[in-house]
Amino acid sequence: MARKTKRNKITSKEKTALINKNNLKLKDDFLEYLRSVQRSPQTISGYDSDLLIVFTYMLERADNKDFVKLTKRELSAFQGWLINENENSSSRVRRIKAAMSSLSNFIETVLDDEEEFKNFRPIIKKIENPPMQKVRKKTVWSDEELEALLDKLASAGKHREACVLALAMYSGRRKSELCRFKADDFADSNLVCSGALYKTSDPIQTKGFGLGKYIHCYTLAKKFKPFLDAWMRERERLGIESEWLFPDSGNYSKSLSPHTLTGWADVFTNMTGKDFYWHSLRHYFTTHLSRLGLPDSAIQEILGWDSSEMVRVYKDISAEEQMGRYFDDKLKPGSTNPLFIS
């Protein structure tokens, strides 16, 4: 099985309460600034989590000093701790350092007129980043493997989980985007392309700079509908009334949290014996559309990409399989096809 992403619990409410108040105030001011320039909630949440890791480390190993007084030696030690003791991947280390760098830039450019920050100079980029290393083997799914997982979930009465999984398989949307679909996105009036695709009633927020971009999302109707119908029947039985296709269990006015899907990924890993992560289904969907014969330009439109180059990145199809489309058993020697004329 491929190596899983390591998740360590570094922060806690108890530790946060002991963090240098100057550092907490600096973090809060920085996050408020990001909101004012309309950075996405996901970006802000990520910075919040990463900076709490930094300040917790400083609490425990750097005398809880002010962030602006951090030295290059201490920064180097922090990077070494992340890699060697906490066993973080190089990409995770780079992300945490990027949060520190952005905070440093905020101090230098926005707070430079305040006496305590007047002589501050960013040092984060002075410490060389660790080389990028691939820590997770890419998971490629066959139709049979995912259909077997769907069957297991449905047989166990896990219709919500099966519906989310099927939506990911047949829409190719990211984890956070799956939670933003609404029930009326799958009304019969939303069928397009001779009933082959569901098109969302309104654009859905997707990943992108700032607050992201909004696009209409498409789902393969025939493949998805059996799992949609089973989940809608389950909703009716449970008395769930919500505009969201997957409402939060504790509050139907809110959509399901992506963190819930993160937990399901571990369950699906145990059920399949393969490393399950939601983004692997974005690859699966792209590959599925390509095998159906859709040209890259059409797949690009369905996924909402700016370039068809992304289709080639996400397709899990070997060169031999692609070439094999032009060398099937219908093209035999002796035919007039120029590929077989000696």
Whichever domain contains 175, its CATH number is: 1.10.443.10
Asked whether residue 74 falls in the same domain as residue 172, the answer is: no
pTM above threshold 0.85: no
User: In this predicted structure, what is the pLDDT of residue 1?
Assistant: 40
3-state secondary structure of 238: helix
Look over the chain and give the mean of its residue pLDDT values, rounded to a whole number: 90
Question: Residue 270: inside a domain, yes or no?
Answer: yes
- The count of structural domains within the chain is 2
Cα 313–Cα 319–Cα 320 angle in degrees, nearest 5: 150
Question: Residue 4: inside a domain, yes or no?
Answer: no
User: In this predicted structure, what is the pLDDT of residue 211?
Assistant: 46
User: In this predicted structure, what is the pLDDT of residue 68?
Assistant: 97
Question: Residue 263: inside a domain, yes or no?
Answer: yes
Question: Residue 147: inside a domain, yes or no?
Answer: yes
Helix or strand (DSSP H, E) at 192: strand 191-192
3-state secondary structure of 283: helix
Asked whether residue 27 falls in the same domain as residue 113, the answer is: yes
Mean pLDDT of 298-307: 91
- pLDDT exceeds cutoff 60 at 187: yes
Asked whether residue 118 falls in the same domain as residue 147, the answer is: no
- Digit-coded pLDDT (tens) for 1-57: 444 445 557 889 999 999 999 999 999 999 999 999 988 887 898 899 999 999 999
User: In this predicted structure, what is the pLDDT of residue 134?
Assistant: 61
Residue 157 domain boundaries:
143-322
Question: Residue 160: inside a domain, yes or no?
Answer: yes
Contact predicate 211/204, CB 8 Å: no
Among residues of the chain, what percentage have pLDDT more than 90?
Answer: 75
User: In this predicted structure, what is the pLDDT of residue 135?
Assistant: 56
User: In this predicted structure, what is the pLDDT of residue 337?
Assistant: 53
320 vs 147: which has the higher pLDDT: 147
Asked whether residue 272 falls in the same domain as residue 307, the answer is: yes
Asked whether residue 279 falls in the same domain as residue 210, the answer is: yes
Distance between alpha carbon 337 and the CA centroid of its chain, in Å?
46
Q: What are phi and psi of 220, to 5 degrees?
A: -65, 110
Among 64, 97, 126, the domain boundary falls at 126
Asked whether residue 83 falls in the same domain as residue 148, the answer is: no
User: In this predicted structure, what is the pLDDT of residue 212?
Assistant: 56
Question: Quick one: which of 23, 48, 53 has its CA closest to 34?
Answer: 48
User: In this predicted structure, what is the pLDDT of residue 334?
Assistant: 54
Q: How many CA atoms lie within 13 A of 226 on its CB side?
A: 8
Among residues of the chain, what percentage have pLDDT more than 70?
Answer: 89
- pLDDT exceeds cutoff 70 at 229: yes
What separation in angstroms does the CA of 331 have from each of 22, 291, 324, 326? 74, 19, 11, 8
Question: Residue 172: inside a domain, yes or no?
Answer: yes
Asked whether residue 196 falls in the same domain as residue 234, the answer is: yes
Residues in the chain: 342
Confidence band for 209, pLDDT divided at 50, 70 and 90: very low
> Residue 114 maps to which CATH number?
1.10.150
Asked whether residue 95 falls in the same domain as residue 165, the answer is: no
Asked whether residue 44 falls in the same domain as residue 120, the answer is: yes
- Digit-coded pLDDT (tens) for 261-274: 999 999 999 999 99
3-state secondary structure of 233: helix
- Digit-coded pLDDT (tens) for 73-122: 999 999 999 999 988 888 889 999 999 999 999 999 999 999 999 999 99
Mean pLDDT of 53-68: 97
User: In this predicted structure, what is the pLDDT of residue 8?
Assistant: 53
Confidence band for 322, pLDDT divided at 50, 70 and 90: confident
Among 80, 96, 126, the domain boundary falls at 126
Worst-scoring range by mean pLDDT, 158-162, 202-206, 326-330? 326-330
Question: Residue 55: inside a domain, yes or no?
Answer: yes
Asked whether residue 148 falls in the same domain as residue 285, the answer is: yes
Worst-scoring range by mean pLDDT, 60-69, 150-159, 324-333? 324-333
User: In this predicted structure, what is the pLDDT of residue 2?
Assistant: 40
Asked whether residue 200 falls in the same domain as residue 85, the answer is: no
Asked whether residue 120 falls in the same domain as residue 189, the answer is: no
Worst-scoring range by mean pLDDT, 98-107, 129-138, 174-183? 129-138
